[in-house]
């Protein structure tokens, strides 16, 4: 659903960004980016390196404050200058990074539990029960006492997802969640993301996992030079006969990975 469709239907997006601009090192990395994310929608950001995908996700969570434009959650504009408001906003908008960002000196359980105690004010017992429940949700309850050094990359990323889910987010932002993983570990993380989508989690994700995201996404957003230059459903952009930039880009990824035709002949594209 496009921002225009949302406006016509009178629905308030779960998350909306309007004309975001961000300059880093003298380069305009985001150049007037707008998007609307309806409740339960999954959107996928794709595009070449340096297109602005990671910067956009970080701006959406105010980890990089945008230079211009505004962001709204459930129709309410976020005041990026208020620490209290930002803290409340970030509890509702979870972020998953490429490199996990776990605390090395804390166990998996403690990594999930710490924000529940310090941010949500839960008792240690209540926070422990919730953390164990979220670790079980991602298939890691039996790894609760292990430290990041003793976990595989896929397990670390699942701990990071459990930590975000423990805060009861309304939206999840995922920045290349499998890019730091060995090929054999990618599937376990993608399985968790698929489960979240099926449960109705609102998500926007940057990824090069084309076949996976095509089966999951409501819409692809193709970014280049700081702008969203093309958007549409996977069926529209990757269907047979499509001449879209998205299809051309995905075909190049397929050639590089040796998966011929992955982007062009997907039998399970979400209509």
Tell me what the pLDDT averaged over the chain comes to. Answer: 88
Domain regions of the chain by residue span: 3-257
What's the pLDDT at 257? 53
Tokens 């952009």, residue located: 237
Res. 263 pLDDT band, cuts 50 70 90: very low
Query: How far apart are alpha carbons 261 and 217 in whole angstroms?
Result: 19
The average pLDDT across 87-97 equals 93
Decide if 157 contacts 149 (C-beta within 8 A). no
Strand partners, 33: 20
Task: Quote the tokens at residue 204.
Answer: 């926007």
For the beta sheet containing 76-77, the strands, ordered from the edge strand earlier in sequence to the opposite edge, are: 27-37, 15-24, 68-73, 76-77
Superfamily of domain 3-257: P-loop containing nucleotide triphosphate hydrolases (3.40.50.300)
pLDDT tens figures, 151-174: 999 999 999 999 999 999 999 999
Decide if 135 contacts 113 (C-beta within 8 A). no
Phi-psi map region of 75: left, alpha, beta (phi>0 left; psi -120 to 50 alpha): left
What's the pLDDT at 208? 84
pLDDT tens figures, 45-70: 999 989 999 999 999 999 999 999 99
Decide: residue 144, CB within 10 A, 0-12 exposed, 13-18 middle, 19+ buried. buried
The average pLDDT across 11-21 equals 95
Query: How far apart are alpha carbons 184 and 176 in whole angstroms?
Result: 16
Res. 268 pLDDT band, cuts 50 70 90: very low
What's the pLDDT at 250? 79
The average pLDDT across 9-31 equals 91
Residue whose C-alpha is closest to residue 132's, from 100, 106, 164, 110: 110
Q: Which H or E run contains 74?
A: none
What's the pLDDT at 255? 59
Res. 108 pLDDT band, cuts 50 70 90: very high
Integer Rg of the chain from CA: 19
Query: How far apart are alpha carbons 199 and 192 in whole angstroms?
Result: 11
Res. 95 pLDDT band, cuts 50 70 90: very high
Name the residue with higher pLDDT: 117 or 98. 117
Q: Which residues contact 91 (CB under 8 A, 6 or more apart)?
A: 119, 120, 167, 168, 169
pLDDT value at 227 more than 80: yes
The average pLDDT across 221-244 equals 88
Res. 256 pLDDT band, cuts 50 70 90: low
Task: Quote the tokens at residue 64.
Answer: 């990089």
pLDDT value at 254 more than 70: no
What's the pLDDT at 168? 94
pLDDT tens figures, 203-216: 999 998 888 888 89
Distance from chain centroid for Cα 246: 19
Residue 147 has phi, psi (to 5 degrees) of -95, 160
pLDDT value at 196 more than 90: yes
Res. 8 pLDDT band, cuts 50 70 90: very low
What's the pLDDT at 269? 46
The average pLDDT across 101-114 equals 96
H helices, E strands: number in the chain: 10, 10
Name the residue with higher pLDDT: 176 or 250. 176
The average pLDDT across 71-82 equals 94
């Amino acid at each position: 659903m496009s921002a225009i469709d949302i406006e016509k239907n009178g629905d308030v997006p779960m998350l909306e960004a309007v004309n975001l601009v961000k300059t880093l090192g003298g380069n305009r990395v985001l150049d007037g980016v707008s998007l609307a994310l309806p409740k339960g929608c999954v959107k996928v950001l794709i595009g070449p390196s340096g297109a602005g995908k990671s910067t956009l996700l970080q701006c959406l969570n105010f980890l990089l404050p945008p230079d211009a434009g505004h962001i709204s959650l459930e129709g309410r504009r976020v005041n990026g200058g208020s620490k209290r408001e930002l803290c409340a906003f970030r509890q509702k908008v979870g972020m998953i990074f490429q490199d996990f960002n776990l605390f090395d000196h804390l166990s998996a359980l403690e990594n999930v539990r710490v924000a529940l105690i310090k941010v949500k004010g839960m008792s240690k017992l209540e926070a422990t029960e919730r953390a164990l429940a979220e670790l079980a949700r991602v298939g890691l309850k039996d790894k609760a006492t292990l430290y990041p050094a003793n976990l595989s990359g896929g397990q670390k990323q699942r701990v990071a997802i459990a930590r975000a889910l423990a805060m009861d987010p309304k939206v999840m932002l995922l920045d290349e969640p499998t890019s730091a993983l060995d090929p054999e570990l990618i599937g376990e993380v993608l399985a968790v993301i698929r489960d979240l989508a099926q449960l109705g989690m609102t998500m926007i994700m940057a990824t090069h996992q084309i076949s996976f995201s095509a089966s999951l996404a409501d819409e692809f957003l193709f970014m280049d030079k700081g702008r969203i230059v093309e958007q549409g459903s996977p069926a529209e952009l990757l269907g047979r006969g499509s001449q879209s930039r998205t299809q051309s880009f995905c075909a190049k990824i397929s050639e590089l990975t040796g998966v011929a035709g992955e982007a062009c002949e997907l039998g399970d594209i979400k209509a």
